[in-house]
Amino acid sequence: MRWFDEFSERGSRRLAQRTSRRSALARLGKVLFGAALVPLLPVDRMVGRAHAAVTDDPRSCDYWRHCGVDGWLCSCCGGSVSSCPPGTEVGTITWVGTCRNPADNTDYIVSYNDCCGKGSCGRCQCLRSEADTPVYRPQSSNDINWCLGSTSAHYHCTTSVVLGVARK
């Protein structure tokens, strides 16, 4: 390991000859200052998700009310954005989220109601999951078959019903 000691000693001496303590401190200060600014840089929060186009179509997953959906859209399954398709019934348990309507830039409370009584609709799959929480916080988790609390546990599709304006 002698060669290593000599090598590092030579390197350190050369560095010390070429740099003053003041310039080393100035350089270190610049690095630390730069590192402290990194969290202030703008962040694109849409990364990982296609930039959603504004749409009025409730059959589109990009429709504003569907911001917390994980499932099939009832609008594509014979129902509407706020009603279950014939032959299914609205689940007794729902979960709520908050979505911003781009038309008036206002946040609304939206109730996500699973429609139960038939197998999966299989049309217009939508996975947005804004404000979704892990299943151990079930009151705001969408990744749960909420039909489990209903007469039939078969999940068909999900509606997005506006309950009112969200207070700030």
Specify burial of residue 45 (Cβ count, 10 A radius: 0-12, 13-18, 19+). exposed
95 is catalytic: yes
Q: Is position 143 an interface residue for ligand ABN (rule: CB under 6 A)?
A: yes
Specify burial of residue 33 (Cβ count, 10 A radius: 0-12, 13-18, 19+). exposed
72 is catalytic: no
Given 64, 72, 114, 146, the catalytic residue: 114
Residue 98 identity: T
- What gap in Å lies between CA 160 and CA 151, rounded to an integer? 21
Q: Is position 114 an interface residue for ligand ABN (rule: CB under 6 A)?
A: yes
* 11 vs 122 by CB, closer to ligand ABN: 122
Q: Is position 142 an interface residue for ligand ABN (rule: CB under 6 A)?
A: yes
CB of 4 to ligand ABN, least distance (A): 59
Q: Is position 145 an interface residue for ligand ABN (rule: CB under 6 A)?
A: yes
Residues 119 and 75: beta-carbon distance below 8 Å: no
Which pair of structure tokens corresponds to residue 93? 């348990």
Q: Which residue is nearest to ligand ABN (CB)?
A: 145
CB of 100 to ligand ABN, least distance (A): 21
Which residues of the shown chain bind ligand ABN in the complex (CB under 6 A)?
70-71, 114, 142-146, 155, 158
